[in-house]
Every structure is written in structure tokens, then in C-alpha cells.
Amino acid sequence: MLSKMYSPRVVIIGAGIVGTNVADELVARGWTNITVVDQGPLDMPGGSTSHAPGLVFQTNICKTMTLFAKYTVEKLKALEEDGENCFNQVGGLEIATDEARLAEIKRKHGYAQSWGIEAHLISPEECMEKYPLLNKEQVLGGLHIPTDGLAKAARAVQLLINRTRKAGVQYIDKTPVTGIAKADGHVTGVETPNGTIP
């Protein structure tokens, strides 16, 4: 059974890359009494954290999403232990193989420039230099963003768990959430097989 002595201010469902980042952001803003619940073990987060490739493309038609992605890159680069961070900044390359796609990457280039993301429109030859396995006859051009890359999500989760635990965040693993308790139109708890977290 869950202890009735502890009543968190916020309960986060899921201890993957999203849940642990939410906990970290709340801690950074002065929040306390935070609990994160996950159905699996903390050392092997389920969902996208453990099996998604972790690609981070910063440029989006939505400025807010672009700025979120840029912030994510900065945060993952700063999140490090033993000299190793949580982001492999290999760059991103989008390829155009028809005129419509070429027009689209030109628009994306404009968005990137407007929102502070380094981006370069490159020729088919430059695309081939960056990725020689492309079919040169099909490539019309590309958009190269040198600051895009790959998140090391599983590593980031472990570092975020360690950091937020030091700040007082409680983690409950191997506990599936089975429902949300409500009363008078308000959430009052998170239901689990081990009891309700109030």
C-alpha cells in the first residue's frame, strides 16, 4: 500500500524522457512534493524513450515548436556526467527529390533563419558529400541544419532521475496507473493497484 503520510502537489505519469523532463522543469521553477509514477522499472523506461531513434529536428512551421526543440538541444547538451552529454550533434539533412519538396525545404530554411536556427540550403553535390549513399540522379537539393542530432534519451532519463531525486522528487516504479480519481470536477488522485496517490 502507498503511504498516506505523503501527499504530492503533482503526480507525473510516466518516467520516460517526457515525465522526467517535466519533473526537472518543475523543480527548476521551485516546485516541491513531486511524484513520478511509472509502470516499468526506472532503469529501462518503456514507451518511446527506450525504442525511438531520438532524432531532434529543430525547424518546424510553428515557431513555438522550433523554440522547444532548440531548448531541448541546449538542455541535452548541458546534461552531462563524466564528460559525456546526452546529445549527439551530428546535424540534420532533409532531401528534396521533387519540386514540391524543394519548395518546402526552402520555406523551412526561411523559418529556421527567422527563429535563430543555423540552416543551409545545399546543392545536390553537397548533399552527396554529406551522405554519399544518396542517389544523385534523384536529389534536387537539401536543407542542412548542423545543430540537429540524436538525443541519448535513455541516458538523459537516468541523469534526470538522479538530479531530480536530489531535489526531493519521489519515484514509484513498477506501478501501473489504472485510473484518475476525481471529485467535484477536480482531480484528487492517481489510482494504482497499490492504492491511490492523493
pLDDT of residue 50: 76
Region 35-44 average pLDDT: 92
Q: Is 185 exposed, middle or buried (0-12, 13-18, 19+ CB in 10 A)?
A: exposed
* pLDDT class of 190 with cuts at 50, 70, 90: very high
Residue 135 binned pLDDT confidence (cut-offs 50, 70, 90):
very high
Judge whether residue 6 has pLDDT over 80. Answer: no
pLDDT score of 2 = 58
Q: Where are the domains of the chain?
A: 1-54+152-198
* DSSP letters for 144-162: EETT-EEE-HHHHHHHHHH
**Angstrom distances, CA of residue 61 to CA of 93, 107, 119, 144:** 17, 9, 14, 16
- Give the range among 27-41, 44-58, 76-90, 107-121 with minimum mean pLDDT: 44-58
User: For residues 161 and 171, what is the distance between their CA atoms, to the nearest angstrom?
Assistant: 8
Within 8 A by CB and 6+ apart from 122, the residues are 130, 141, 142, 143, 144
Reported as a single tens digit per residue, the pLDDT across 115-128 is 999 999 999 999 99
Class of domain 1-54+152-198: alpha beta
pLDDT of residue 48: 79
Q: Among all chains, which residue has been given the C-alpha cell 534523384?
A: 138
Number of Cβ within 10 Å of residue 30's Cβ equals 6
pLDDT for 3 beyond 70: no
Report the chain's mean pLDDT, rounded to a whole number: 93
> Quick check: 134 and 97 in contact, CB under 8 A?
no
pTM, two decimal places: 0.86
- Using pLDDT thresholds of 50, 70 and 90, give the confidence band for residue 53: confident
Q: What is the mean pLDDT of residues 33-55?
A: 86
123 Cα distance to chain centroid: 31
- C-alpha–C-alpha distance, residues 99 and 8, integer Å: 54
Would you give the distance in Å from CA 138 to the centre of its chain?
32
What pLDDT band is residue 37 in, cutting at 50, 70 and 90?
very high
Is it the case that residue 5 has pLDDT exceeding 80? no
Task: State percent of the chain over pLDDT 90.
Answer: 86
Q: What percent of the chain has pLDDT over 70?
A: 96
Q: Which of 33-47, 108-122, 173-187 has the lowest mean pLDDT?
A: 33-47
Question: Could you tell me which of 51, 69, 49, 83 has the C-alpha nearest to residue 157?
Answer: 49
